[in-house]
Amino acid sequence: MIFDTAIIGAGPAGMQAACDLRARELSVIVLDEQPAPGGQIWRGVERNCQPGSELAQRLGAEYRQGAGVARSFRACGADYRPLSRVWQIEETGPDATEQCWQVFVIREGQAEVVEARRVLLAIGAQERPVPFPGWTHPGVMTVGAAQIMLKSGGLLPEGPVWICGAGPLPLLYAHQLRKLGGQIAGFLDTAPRDTVRRGLPHLSGALRDWKSLAKGLAWQAGLRAAGLRRETGVRQLRAEGKDRLERIRWETPEGEKTAPAGVLLIHEGLVPSVHPTLSLQCEHTWSDAQQSLRPVLDAWGETTRRGLFVAGDAAGIDGARAALAKGTLAAVGIARSLDVLSEAKAKQARAAGDRALSKARATRPLLDTLYPAPEGKISDDVIVCRCEELTAGQIRAAAGRGSADPNRVKSETRAGMGPCQGRQCGYTVARLIAEAHDMPRAEVGFHNIRPPLKPVSVGELASLGKAKA
Amino acid sequence: MFRPLPDSSEGPTVTVFVEGQPVEAYVGETAASVLLRHLGTARTTSISESPRAPFCMMGCCFDCLAEIDGKGSTQSCLEPVRDGMTIARQMSARKVVAR
Amino acid sequence: MRAGADLIVIGGGLHGLSAALQSARRGLRVVLLEGAFTGRHASGATAAGVRSLARAVEELPLSLEAQAQWEDMTALVGDDCGFHAVGQVQVAMDAEAKARIKARIARLKAAGMHHESWIDPDRLAELVPVMQPGALGAAYVALDGSADPHRTIRAFRAACLEADVEILENRPVTWLGREETHWTVVAGGTSHVAPTIVNAAGAWGRQIARLAGDLLNVGIKNSMMIVTERCEPCLGPVVSAQNRKLSFKQTADGTFLIGGGVQGRLRPDGDSASVDFGALSGAMSTTLALFPWVADLRLVRAWAGMEAATADLLPVIGPSARAPGLIHAFGFSGHGFQLVPSVGRVIADLAETGRTRTDLSAFDPGRLATNRKAA
Ligand SMILES: Cc1cc2nc3c(=O)[nH]c(=O)nc-3n(C[C@H](O)[C@H](O)[C@H](O)COP(=O)(O)OP(=O)(O)OC[C@H]3O[C@@H](n4cnc5c(N)ncnc54)[C@H](O)[C@@H]3O)c2cc1C
Ligand code: FES
């Protein structure tokens, strides 16, 4: 069967788009590698929102809202396939009469091909990797990872727990942890100290969404009231220990400090998941405000490849409410491109969606300014490529040896050739190249992404032939 | 490193085997989270053999690679626990077992 | 406009680098123009097998010369390029394959070439203990092996710079013109002049030839490769099979490289190739029959590399008959990596003196000449 649309990702954007497309009676298949709907923000939402759940209360109203969306999604009639990993997307040859996409999926060790007229990537974001000495030690993980442990297993970190970084997520997580009785040794804030002054010009725009602003201020006030140790202007973080994290060290303008640590949770913002659009050679642009790439989209959410759409944080970091709006807009765009929505109706629907999106984005310029991507110098001994265990020094040396092409540096050093395909090192390598060639980061680009997008075994690959035969 | 909330410890559990030892796991958590709770690491790297633990929990760092139900190099953060699942760390480069 | 070059090499793959290096060592002033960066295409995408085994007899003189050069690569470029003489075996999976291999070895012996030998299943099992039993034996060349392609590129590039080759990257050649004794080459906004030019443009060799007015009938191959995760070392020789799609080896990093000539897709722009997983999946059967344990290994990357291929699968090496001062060195049809040092020597001969002691008749560009624009 050829579906009207294959949606990859069952987070807010993917679920919303599925519901909207089903409401227009289009056939939809939704593929997601997680066991249940919700994406990252609403991970485990069905499990946790059972009546009487303490956890659901503590996670907050925004989290509980996901239960309703997941319910509508379950009921919308889309063919939902959890635990399905998309590892390759191809467009059928130019000789085919009608445009069709092939989405290669692994499910329970078996490869299959899903065919659809349109593809919507609603694959969300990942946390921005920011290397520092010792970030590969066991005991160091991301704030998002710890939050996932909380949402999927109801687990709280223990040992002296430190949170280091900047952005709404560490604040939210610290707030959630406190309400659940978790202990935090301290919060190391890496935002520049003058960040509030820098944010002022964006304040009036952000006031359009004063509720979100108030929430953020309330989290901070709550943490202060609880007497949480907080350090600002933090730089030069180091994680130290023999075979695992034992202690951390950091600098502030007042001097160097150290403390014992059992768990160090780090977070420096999010970056869109762009591996599929990069591998499909869609055009991308560099966002200076978010220091990351994003696919170029038209007003309908379509990439520079016809029939391929992107919604949610994969299109730019804007948060869950914006992801819902982007899901709606992409569904309008897809319905229009499949000729089930007239141009006039589509424009009408788009106007409403655009308004919702613009409101949901109101605080974004402020947040982007308050929490810029860190720019501190990465010292030569720091591991940049976690997979191939390459240091900043090795990458710098290769970067200086020839052209500023990330593909050249990749083939010379193997950075980005490990299993993560550069998801951890790609931006840092590009940054080191920009530094070596004294050029703007935006001009460096990203290395070519080779398939598969997600790991598949040779046996699973071979099973594809059998599935087809 | 991690402890369960009352919600979890009172909720449904399954038994998994971590390097041979039976262990109680909370329905919803992943094999990576079980490894973190019980061993604190998931693997040692194939190059310098240094220890690594799950880092991102969402499929993009590959530091949670482990042997799940005998299958090597599995991203354990993407494997929800199942009753009877076997979980083991993956030490160093994979060994090829011919025949 | 720059003056003063004796030779312009078009293409910064390994053949371009080798020709540039060896010409510069003879005292020629060499400029190398590369459209992207050195090693961007086939030279970086290659399986890097160093193989005289089962080569066309026409290529053997160059191949055996190269074999000796690979043994002592440090003498040429100051680095061993990660070459290890781990040997290569070509397995016979059925009686017909066995008969063909034996006949080939007999023919080679009759012609005085003794590099290949037949080994029986016991010896094969000793050499490749991780292979399933069942093969009827194999052809074996102990001096063959494989190298590290990126290290090779780096070494040739460094040696070129040392020898004062001017390497210019991001300079795709878009125009060629001949005036009496000189070529003018326009590349990425700059123009360069020299009496002699070398066409080492790989998959784009046909286009370069056409710019020079030499229409050649040459096609394109997009061979796919896959590489697995790193494993403990367990496989020495490179393994192929007679008349089957198989090429299997373990690299020094511990990863396994699986190739064998399955073809990917040319993208509509004609300028890049992409992987066809349907085709790749079908081609796994020989690999899995001989090495069933590979099924459990994680595939880390797959790619398709572009290279020019001729109808007789022999390269295009030698002076153009139609364009004076143009020397071709492309069309290696998927097996040119091993020939890099010896073909570079031949091109340097031609560039320096216009002659070479090597018989190039089988590689004569004239055999592919066409009057029509090639499709
Ligand atoms: C770790 C983390 C924690 C966050 N925590 C919060 C928070 O507490 N509060 C908040 O307001 N915002 C949070 N955010 C931001 C918030 O998650 C996003 O703004 C919002 O969820 C975006 O929705 P989405 O639908 O675009 O993406 P997502 O919710 O990420 O959904 C994408 C889905 O695609 C799936 N997927 C990706 N690739 C493939 C593939 N190849 N095959 C199959 N499936 C695939 C993923 O598993 C996922 O389910 C967090 C983000 C991250 C990354
Ligand atoms: S913890 Fe990062 S991939 Fe599993």
Chain B residue with the nearest C-alpha to that of C234:
B96
Q: Are C109 and C237 within one domain?
A: yes
Q: Are C19 and C101 within one domain?
A: no
B53 lines ligand 2 (CB under 6 A): no
Cβ contacts of A318 within 8 Å, gap of 6 or more: A326, A357, A360, A361, A364
Q: Are C102 and C251 within one domain?
A: yes
- Does C343 reside within a domain? yes
A179 contacts chain B (CB < 8 A): no
- Does C41 reside within a domain? yes
Q: Are A141 and A245 within one domain?
A: yes
Calculate the average pLDDT of chain A. 94
Cβ contacts of A423 within 8 Å, gap of 6 or more: A126, A129, A275, B60, B61
Q: Identify which has the larger pLDDT, A109 or A284.
A: A284
CATH number reported for the structural domain that contains residue C344 in this entry: 3.50.50.60
Q: Are C207 and C102 within one domain?
A: no
> For C361, what's the count of Cα atoms within 13 Å in the CB-facing half-sphere?
2
- Does C65 reside within a domain? no
The ligand that comes nearest to the alpha carbon of residue A172 is 1
B99 contacts chain C (CB < 8 A): yes
Q: Are A263 and A394 within one domain?
A: no
Answer with the one of A339, A365, A391 that is the final residue of a domain.
Answer: A365
Q: Are C23 and C352 in contact (CB under 8 A)?
A: yes
Which residues of A183-289 form beta strands (DSSP E)? 186-189, 230-231, 235-240, 247-252, 255-260, 263-267, 270-272, 284-287
Q: Are A284 and A412 within one domain?
A: no
Phi, psi for C222 (deg, rounded to 5)? -125, 75
- Does A79 reside within a domain? yes
Q: How far apart are CA A179 and CA C145, in angstroms?
A: 63
* CA distance to A124, A288, A293, A463, per residue, from A360 (Å): 16, 20, 21, 44
Q: Per-residue pLDDT tens for C162-171?
A: 999 999 999 9
Q: For the residues A216-234, what does the mean pLDDT come to?
A: 90
Cβ contacts of A132 within 8 Å, gap of 6 or more: A236, A237, A238, A239, A266, A378, A382
Asked if A141's CB is within 8 angstroms of B56's CB, the reply is yes
Asked if A54's CB is within 8 angstroms of B56's CB, the reply is no
Q: What's the Rg (C-alpha) of chain A?
A: 22
Nearest to A176 by CA among A265, A239, A246, A273: A265
Q: Are C231 and C304 within one domain?
A: yes
Q: Are C127 and C231 within one domain?
A: yes
> Where on the phi/psi map is residue A342: left (φ > 0), alpha (ψ -120 to 50), or beta?
beta
CATH number reported for the structural domain that contains residue A284 in this entry: 3.50.50.60
Asked if B4's CB is within 8 angstroms of A148's CB, the reply is no
Q: Are C166 and C33 within one domain?
A: yes
Q: For the residues A137-150, what does the mean pLDDT come to?
A: 97
Answer with the one of C259, C280, C309 that is the final residue of a domain.
Answer: C309
pLDDT band for position A95 (cuts 50, 70, 90): low
Q: For the residues C6-17, what does the mean pLDDT come to?
A: 98
Q: How far apart are CA A186 and CA A308, in angstroms?
A: 44
A445 contacts chain C (CB < 8 A): no
Answer with the one of C309, C324, C347 that is the final residue of a domain.
Answer: C309
- Does A173 reside within a domain? yes
Q: Are C324 and C195 within one domain?
A: yes
Nearest to C289 by CA among C167, C132, C74: C132
- Does C63 reside within a domain? no
Residue A172 has pLDDT above 50, yes or no: yes
- pLDDT of A4 reads 97
Q: How far apart are CA A144 and CA A186, in angstroms?
A: 17
Answer with the one of C309, C332, C350 that is the final residue of a domain.
Answer: C309
Give the distance from CA B18 to its chain's centroid: 8
Q: Are A141 and A260 within one domain?
A: yes
A403 vs C contacts (CB less than 8 Å): 37, 169-170
Q: Are A178 and A78 within one domain?
A: no
Asked if A155's CB is within 8 angstroms of B62's CB, the reply is no
B36 lines ligand 2 (CB under 6 A): no
Calculate the average pLDDT of chain C. 94
Q: Are A115 and A142 within one domain?
A: no
Answer with the one of A268, A300, A316 that is the final residue of a domain.
Answer: A268
Residue C1 has pLDDT above 50, yes or no: no
- Smallest Cβ distance to A461: which of C157, C277, C301? C277
- Does C58 reside within a domain? no
Interface of A with B in 28-47 (CB under 8 A): 33-35, 40, 44, 47
C254 contacts chain B (CB < 8 A): yes
B54 lines ligand 2 (CB under 6 A): yes
Is the CA virtual torsion A387, A390, A392, A394 positive or negative? negative
Is the CA virtual torsion B34, B38, B39, B40 positive or negative? positive
Q: Are A288 and A304 within one domain?
A: yes
| A25-29, A202-206, A430-434, C266-270: range with lowest mean pLDDT | C266-270
B52 lines ligand 2 (CB under 6 A): no
Chain C residue with the nearest C-alpha to that of B94:
C231
Q: Are A185 and A169 within one domain?
A: yes
B62 vs A contacts (CB less than 8 Å): 386-387, 418-420, 455
Q: What's the Rg (C-alpha) of chain C?
A: 21
Chain pair B-C, CB pairs under 8 angstroms: 36
Q: Per-residue pLDDT tens for C176-235?
A: 999 989 999 999 889 999 999 999 999 999 999 999 999 999 999 999 999 999 999 999
**A58: three-class secondary structure by DSSP:** helix
CATH number reported for the structural domain that contains residue C96 in this entry: 3.30.9.10
Q: In the block, which residue shows the tokens 């001729």? A: C310
- Domain span at residue C293 reads 88-142+219-309
- The interface predicted TM-score (ipTM) is 0.96
Give the distance from CA C233 to its chain's centroid: 26
Domains of chain B, with CATH numbers?
A: 13-91 (3.10.20.30)
Total structural domains within chain C: 2
- pLDDT of C2 reads 47
- DSSP collapsed to 3 states, A64-98: HHHHHHHHHHHHCCCEEECCCEEEEEEECCCCCCC
Q: Are C163 and C253 within one domain?
A: no
**Token pair recorded at residue A348:** 């009408």
pLDDT band for position A467 (cuts 50, 70, 90): low
H helix or E strand, kind and range, residue A438: none
Phi, psi for A449 (deg, rounded to 5)? -95, 120
- Domain span at residue A19 reads 2-126+271-365
Q: How far apart are CA A146 and CA A155, in angstroms?
A: 8
- Does A288 reside within a domain? yes
Interface of A with B in 120-139 (CB under 8 A): 126-127, 136-139
- Does C68 reside within a domain? no
- Does C78 reside within a domain? no
Which ligand 2 atom minimizes the distance to the CA of B61? 2
A15 lines ligand 1 (CB under 6 A): no
| A14-28, A69-83, A89-103, C300-314: range with lowest mean pLDDT | A89-103
A45 lines ligand 1 (CB under 6 A): no
Total structural domains within chain A: 3
Q: Are A32 and A10 in contact (CB under 8 A)?
A: yes
- Does A120 reside within a domain? yes
Answer with the one of A365, A396, A413 that is the final residue of a domain.
Answer: A365
Q: Per-residue pLDDT tens for A280-328?
A: 999 999 999 999 999 999 999 999 999 999 999 999 999 999 999 999 9
- Does A455 reside within a domain? no
**Closest Cα in chain B, distance from residue A127 (Å):** 8
- Does C81 reside within a domain? no
Q: Per-residue pLDDT tens for C312-327?
A: 999 999 999 999 999 9
pLDDT band for position C375 (cuts 50, 70, 90): very low
Cβ contacts of A148 within 8 Å, gap of 6 or more: A40, A43, B57, B58, B77
Q: Are A143 and A260 within one domain?
A: yes
Helices and strands in chain C, H and E counts? 11, 21
Residue of C152, C277, C294, C303 for testing the chain A interface, max A β-carbons within 10 Å: C277
Q: In one letter, which amino acid is C21?
A: L
CATH number reported for the structural domain that contains residue A409 in this entry: 1.10.10
**A266: three-class secondary structure by DSSP:** strand
Residue of A46, A140, A141 for testing the chain B interface, max B β-carbons within 10 Å: A141
- Does A466 reside within a domain? no
